[in-house]
A and B are shown apart, each in its own frame.
Chain A
Amino acid sequence: MKAIVAIAGTTVGEAIRRKVLLIILLVGLLVLFIAPGLGTLSARSETTVLRGMMLGIIQLTSAVIAIVLTVYMLPNEVERRTIYTILSKPVQRWQFLVGKYLGAIAALALMMALMGLVMVITFWLQQGVRDVSVFADLLKAPVMYFIQMSLLAAVAIFFSTFVSPLVNFFLSGGVYLLGSLFNPFFQTLQENQSTSPVAKGLATFVNMILPNFANYNVQNPIINPGQTIQNEKLYYLSAAGYGIFYIVVLLVLGILVFDRREV
Chain B
Amino acid sequence: MAAAIETKQLTKSYRSRVVGTINVVDHLDLHVEEGEIFGFLGPNGAGKTTTIKMLLGIIYPTSGEGYVLGKEIGDMDVHRQISYLPERPYYYEHMTGPEILRFYGSLFGINDRAKFSSLLEKVNLHRDVTKTISQYSKGMQQRIGLAQSLINDPKLLFLDEPTGGLDPIAHREIRDLILGFRDEGRTVFISSHELSEVELICDRVAIINRGVIEQQGKLTELLKGGRIEITVDGVNEQFLRDMKINDSNVRSLPIGILLDMPEEADPNAVIDSVRGSKGRVLSVVPRRKRLEDLFVETVTNRPRSTGGDTK
Are chains A and B touching directly in their complex (CB below 8 angstroms)? yes
A interface residues (Cβ-Cβ under 8 A, vs B): 2-3, 5-7, 9-10, 13-14, 17, 80-82, 84-92, 262-263
Contact A89 B94 (CB under 8 A): no
Q: Nearest Cβ distance between residue A92 and chain B, in whole angstroms? A: 7
| B60 within 8 Å of A (CB atoms) | yes
Q: Could you say which of A7, A9, A80, A87 contacts B56, with CB atoms under 8 Å apart? A: A87
CA of A169 to CA of B148 in the docked complex: distance in angstroms? 34
| CB neighbours of A82 from chain B (8 A) | 89-92
CA of A55 to CA of B90 in the docked complex: distance in angstroms? 38
Interface of chain A, main secondary structure: helix
Q: Flag B77-96 by CB within 8 Å of A: 1 or 0 each.
A: 10110111111111110110
With A84-B56, A84-B58, A90-B80 already in contact, the answer to whether A6 and B89 are too (CB < 8 A) is no
Contact B56 A91 (CB under 8 A): no
CA of A6 to CA of B105 in the docked complex: distance in angstroms? 9
Contact A81 B88 (CB under 8 A): yes
CA of A117 to CA of B108 in the docked complex: distance in angstroms? 38
| B107 within 8 Å of A (CB atoms) | yes
Q: Nearest Cβ distance between residue B123 and chain A, in whole angstroms? A: 15
| CB neighbours of A92 from chain B (8 A) | 76
17 example contacts (A-B, Cβ-Cβ < 8 A) are as follows: A2-B107, A2-B109, A3-B106, A3-B107, A3-B109, A7-B107, A80-B90, A82-B90, A84-B89, A85-B148, A85-B149, A87-B57, A88-B83, A89-B152, A91-B107, A262-B60, A263-B58
Q: Nearest Cβ distance between residue A38 and chain B, in whole angstroms? A: 35
CA of A10 to CA of B158 in the docked complex: distance in angstroms? 24
| CB neighbours of B158 from chain A (8 A) | 88
Contact B92 A10 (CB under 8 A): yes
| B103 within 8 Å of A (CB atoms) | yes
Q: Could you say which of A6, A13, A81 contacts B107, with CB atoms under 8 Å apart? A: A6
Instruction: For the complex of A and B, list the 7 residue pairs with the smallest distance between their C-beta atoms, beginning with the closest.
Output: A88-B84, A6-B106, A80-B90, A262-B59, A90-B79, A81-B86, A89-B107
| B53 within 8 Å of A (CB atoms) | yes
Contact B59 A89 (CB under 8 A): no
| B104 within 8 Å of A (CB atoms) | yes
Contact A89 B104 (CB under 8 A): yes
Contact A84 B53 (CB under 8 A): yes
CA of A81 to CA of B56 in the docked complex: distance in angstroms? 14
Contact A13 B95 (CB under 8 A): yes
Q: Could you say which of B76, B90, B109 contacts A81, with CB atoms under 8 Å apart? A: B90
| CB neighbours of B89 from chain A (8 A) | 80-82, 84-85
CA of A263 to CA of B54 in the docked complex: distance in angstroms? 11
CA of A191 to CA of B9 in the docked complex: distance in angstroms? 66
| CB neighbours of A86 from chain B (8 A) | 107
Q: Nearest Cβ distance between residue B85 and chain A, in whole angstroms? A: 7
CA of A85 to CA of B148 in the docked complex: distance in angstroms? 9
Q: Nearest Cβ distance between residue B298 and chain A, in whole angstroms? A: 28
Other A-B contacts than A82-B89, A88-B84, 14 sampled, CB-CB below 8 A, are A3-B107, A10-B95, A13-B94, A81-B86, A81-B88, A82-B90, A84-B86, A88-B79, A88-B82, A89-B107, A89-B152, A90-B76, A262-B58, A263-B59
